[in-house]
Amino acid sequence: MGHVLKTTFLLGLLTFLVVFCGYALDGLQGAGVAFFVSCLMNFGVYWFSSKIVLAMHRAQLLLEEEAPEVFEIVRNLSAKAGIPMPRLYMLPSASANAFATGRDPQHAAIALTHGIVGLLNREELSGVLGHELSHILNRDVLLASIVATLAGALSRVASMARWSFLWGGERDERDSTHPLAWVLASILMPLIALLIQLAISRAREYAADQRGAELCEEPLYLASALRKIDITSQRLPLRDADPATAHLFIVNPLSGKGGCSLFSTHPSMEDRIARLEVMKP
């Protein structure tokens, strides 16, 4: 519940920032336009994001005869979760990773790399697939798409505000917007939006770890899988990894470690594993 409240608060804050930027640009009319554009973009994302993400990563539809064990695990976990079995896709990569996509459980898909299927045993695969099914159950894919859309809309509005401030000439005398608001809208707001987007992503990873561990009834399955995936993904990072979709994967597919945790799409691996190890099955 804590993760839900935190995510709801951050999503509300991000929406407020979008509207505030619109207001700083053109008063109440600008705020209304910014909010309308965000809703319109969210509608497009709602319907098309899944197909776009799968195409970006050259995902190929997986047939049951190609991976019967994976199908059996997903079928059993889906029945336990009370949702339709998602479509399964394979990514042509030796790296170890996986992600879920789809706007709701009725239109969901899980994509696995060749590398992860060969790397993990049955129990560890159960942990990973439980994690991905939890993202579907929690509507995390839709939430992430909405957050990304809002953040993108905010950046566009901020860019418009910046150019308007630089090249707009004389301001209307009736315009009482303080210059500081323009500075905040054009420079600081996109950075704040990025931090909020990343904080939501990390919160949803923790929630999916917990629910996925509960779904497969053994937290150590997922802990062991994460440890193996982390080591392998550093040695064999996902080729053509895109920062725009990095938050979808169970482990950040971009090569390299370190950096400030505030700018990370995922919680630290050590923290995720430690939380799973203290969970009671």
What does the pLDDT average to over 210-238? Answer: 92
d(C-alpha 69, C-alpha 124), whole Å = 12
* pLDDT reported for residue 171: 47
Quote the CA–CA distance of 256 and 239 in Å, as a whole number.
Answer: 13
pLDDT of the residue at 85: 96
Fill in the amino acid letter for 135.
H
**The pLDDT value given to residue 1:** 47
pLDDT at 174: 43
CA angle 150, 153, 159 (to 5 degrees): 140
CA-wise closest residue to 164 among 134, 185, 136:
185
For the cut 80, the answer to whether the pLDDT of residue 183 exceeds it is no
Identify the pLDDT of residue 222.
96
Residue 132 known to be catalytic: yes
pLDDT of the residue at 179: 59
Lowest mean pLDDT among 180-189, 196-205, 266-275: 180-189
Active-site annotation holder among 66, 69, 132, 173: 132
The least confident of 64-73, 148-157, 218-227, 266-275 is 148-157
Taking only the tens place, the pLDDT of each residue in 33-90 is 666 766 666 566 666 667 878 888 889 999 999 999 999 999 999 999 999 999 999 9
More confident site: 13 or 125: 125
Cα(126)–Cα(90) distance, integer angstroms: 16
pLDDT at position 130 is 97
Q: Is 102 exposed, middle or buried (0-12, 13-18, 19+ CB in 10 A)?
A: buried
User: Residue 78 is part of which domain span?
Assistant: 2-169+177-277
Which residue did the predictor score with more confidence, 52 or 111? 111
- Quote the Cα angle for 110-113-116, to 5°: 105
Per the structure, the count of domains in the chain is 1
**pLDDT-derived band of residue 182, with 50, 70 and 90 as boundaries?**
low
Mean pLDDT of 85-114: 92
Residue 117, pLDDT > 70, answer yes
Tens digits of residue pLDDT in 145-165: 666 666 666 666 666 655 555
- Bridge-based pairing of strands 98-101 and 109-113 is antiparallel
The closest alpha carbon to 238, from 223, 226, 227, 250, belongs to: 250
Q: Shortest CA distance to 248 belongs to which of 70, 33, 98, 64?
A: 98
